[in-house]
Amino acid sequence: MSAAVETQSVAAQPVAEDDGPLSCWWLRAVAIVMVFGFAGLILITTLSYRNAPPIPARVVDPNGALVFTADDVGEGQAVFLRYGLMANGSIWGHGAYLGPDFSAAALHRMGLVTATAIASEQQHQAVGSLSRSQAAAVQAEAIVSLKTNRYDEASGTLQFTDAQATAFNEEIAHWAGYFHDPARNAGLKADLITDPTELRQFTAFVTWAAWASVAARPGEAHSYTNNFPYDPSVGNVAISGALLWSAISLMVLLAGISAVLLAFGKFDYLGWITRGHDVKPQMLPGRSSRGQDALVKFFVVVALLLLAQALVGGAVAHYRADPGSFYGFQLERIFPSNLMRTWHLQLAIFWIATAYVAAALFLGRSLRTDEPRWLAGWTHVLFAAFAVVIFGSLLGEWAGIAQLLGSLWFWLGNQGWEYLELGRVWQVLLVVGLFVWFALLWSLVRSRALADRAAQPIVRMFLVAALAIPVFYVPAMFFGAKTNYTVVDTWRFWIIHLWVEGFFEFFATTVVALTFYQLGLTRRNVALRVIYLDAILYFLGGLMGTGHHWYFTGQTNANMALSALFSALEVVPLTLLTLDAWDFVRTTRGDRDAAGKQMVIPHKWTFYFLMAVGFWNFVGAGMLGFLINLPIVSYYEVGTLLTPNHGHAAMMGVFGMLAIALMVFVLRQTSSEARWPGIEKYIRCAFWGTNVGLAMMVLMSLFPGGLLQVWDVLENGYWHARSLDYIGSERSHLIEWLRMPGDVVFIVFGAVPLVIAATKCYLNLRAQR
């Protein structure tokens, strides 16, 4: 949501009968921003195919002997995905943080082997025996050797040096040892990969990624990955553009904030504030319809999935704190860490999306005076469909990682791509289900069915935002297991950033605007301005800003320049959250009517959770997100604990708190005045439990752990900060244990009370039938 999470005093009312149309320039401005933003985003995406690091048809040693082929690299990437290794470690900083960055580790060892070979050949000594000047000369020679790009595009052949060929052969044994012991690989199943062919193919993929990380891109002085990862021993240091575009992006940020604050100063009708009118809500608690009551069971599932995600998240954290044992039990035999992390991400997406879907239908029904006969029946069908996709995909991910599906792993099991792990069949079913949901929503709110025709402009934006959700999930189908990693990561962040942080954000704004309008807390044109302003501000920075995820994944410096400048603008709408914050507080307290009587706000806890959305949007998405988005910071930070620090504060703090706010709204609307106090006490506990628990996770573990890890990157290189020597150190384990109190508070006082509240509401409704 954006500036959009602020609200107004309760002395506001819904649309006046004579509320005229807004200026046509609002929609024109949205259209211009969308066209311009998508043009830039599509250009960058198209260039990713051209600029992606090449996969050589053949890699040979100086004598022409074959080292590995393009097929080996493709099959090795499939091994990486099939065994869920992106949920253990990472490539080019993208993936999980339990294990190492595979590309960084392989690159560093390649550098060591190269330096050893040069020292032996030129100095006839071991590297450790060299004088400082000799060691410096050897390192400089090794850097030149590794930076030299020996790929011949015409023949598709890459020639390795003897040292690089030797390093490849040694890597096979190294990874065989890594997959052997769960205590040394952060809780993978013991002897996860033992097949010699699969080990060789996996090593080919990792070695290719390491080569692309260091070899100079033709015509440039830096590598295909803009010299990522940071490792001075192989000549990988930050490129000039990382510093330059970071500095200029700060200027863009200040300019953007100044321009928007100027607009808010000049036009006092911007924001949510509507003053001087009586509240006349169009929805009253306890008067829900049969179809709306049928939606409550969605929120029981939402609460259960949230609880499951929190429990699984605690287990994932335990694998970092004590990977060798789960309180004396070898948990990795049944639930290895890569499966648990996969479930942790998928459960988050599922419970949040389910809450949005159900709340949208609830709001859609509230716009009508009558209820279509098909609503309750189709609600049950949609519920069953979601249950099949959710639990079928989770089971498939377990079976896929356990290698029980054979060649069907990609289709029915675990695709292996972070955030998009569910099998392709489940993805297709999910998209179909979302289109069915949109069809139901459209049938509910089409113009001739609306009770309040004045609401049509808000409803149209609501439908556009809803349609974007299934449409912009479709890019998840644009790649396969063996597609070039750079191309995949480009499309992957169309989903992770553009779908989640873009169109889900826009959809959330329309939902809140429609809710406030229905509650009589804002006039129609005020709500519309917020929607349009959000669209302008978010998509201005958010579309091309998607590229801040691609700084070091094989894209060129041009992407870094464009993405850094526009990504800085993503912070602008988040700074507006403070403008009307006090009015939001006043709304939850209630004003006094003409007789001086305190007005009761039936949706106080909904507003409290919306205030939490505003807080975490500013802190998690704004402060902690901007911290890691600058190219020069991202170069050293990506893939450290500062990434999940931002992820937890933004994903749970913004989208999660909004999902809970919508849940609380529905529970209150479907509960009578007599029944609500028995539910409200659990909601009150859940509010403090979720927010305090999340704050404890961030402040006691994720943020300090991330800062210390980035410090180690600066001191010793990226490979070291991501190695098990660092992750397995006593200090790192202590920081992970410090996360436990926050996890306990979140689970016991946050997630569990929400399960109780949703279940009580559901049982109350059944008892009334």
Question: Which tokens sit at 243?
Answer: 């510093």
- The confidence score (pLDDT) of residue 424 equals 97
User: Would you list the DSSP string of 440-502?
Assistant: HHHHHH-GGG-S-GGGHHHHHHHHHHHHHHHHTTGGGGS--TTS-HHHHHHHHHIIIIIIIII
As a whole number of angstroms, the distance between CA 687 and CA 511 comes to 20
State how far the alpha carbon of 761 is from the alpha carbons of 288, 388, 406, 672, in Å. Answer: 12, 24, 44, 10
Q: What is the mean pLDDT of residues 258-286?
A: 66
Query: Sorting pLDDT into bands at 50, 70 and 90, what band is 10?
Result: very low
Biggest distance spanned by C-alpha atoms of the chain: 96
Q: What is the pTM of this model?
A: 0.93
Cα three-residue angle 725-729-735, rounded to 5 degrees: 135
pLDDT at 448 over 80: no
Q: Please report which confidence band the pLDDT of residue 226 belongs to, taking 50, 70 and 90 as the band edges.
A: very high
pLDDT higher for 467 or 451? 467
The whole-number pLDDT of residue 594 equals 46
Contact 723, 653 (CB under 8 A): no
- Two tokens, residue 313: 């998240």
Residue 5: predicted pLDDT: 38
DSSP state of 747: I
pLDDT confidence of residue 576: 67
pLDDT at 269: 57
**Per-residue model confidence as pLDDT tens digits over 82-139:** 999 999 999 999 999 999 999 999 999 999 999 999 999 998 898 889 999 999 999 9
From the list 85, 35, 41, 104, the residue with the least C-alpha distance to 490 is 41
pLDDT at residue 27, as a whole number: 92
Token readout for 706 is 């991330």
User: Between residues 76 and 329, which one has the greater pLDDT?
Assistant: 76
- DSSP, res 221: S
CA distance 362 to 299: 12
Give residue 595's pLDDT band: very low, low, confident or very high (50, 70, 90).
Answer: very low
pLDDT band at 520 (very low <50, low <70, confident <90, very high): confident
Backbone angles phi, psi at 492, to 5 degrees: -60, -40
Do 242 and 559 contact (CB within 8 A), yes or no? no
The percent of residues in the chain predicted with pLDDT above 90, rounded, is 76
Confidence check: pLDDT of 271 > 70 = no
Which of these ranges, 36-50, 150-164, 411-425, 520-534, has the smallest mean pLDDT? 520-534
Instruction: Grade residue 691 by pLDDT with cuts at 50, 70 and 90.
Output: very high
Confidence at residue 4, expressed as pLDDT on a 0 to 100 scale: 40
Chain mean pLDDT for the chain? 90
What's the pLDDT score for residue 6?
A: 37
Look at residue 470 and tell me whether its pLDDT is greater than 70: yes
The model's confidence at residue 593, banded by pLDDT at 50, 70 and 90, is very low
pLDDT of residue 467: 96
Residue 719: per-residue pLDDT: 98
Rounded-to-integer distance, Cα 376 and Cα 733, Å: 51
CA distances from 624 to 331, 500, 643, 710 (A): 33, 17, 9, 14
As a whole number, mean pLDDT of residues 384-399 equals 97
> What's the confidence (pLDDT) of residue 515?
86
- pLDDT-derived band at 499, boundaries 50, 70, 90: confident
Residue 530, pLDDT score: 85
Quote the percentage of the chain above a pLDDT of 70. 91
Helix or strand run (H / E) with residue 152: strand 151-152
Structure tokens at 528: 């519309």
- Span 459-483, mean pLDDT? 95
164-178, 309-323, 563-577: which has the minimum mean pLDDT? Answer: 563-577
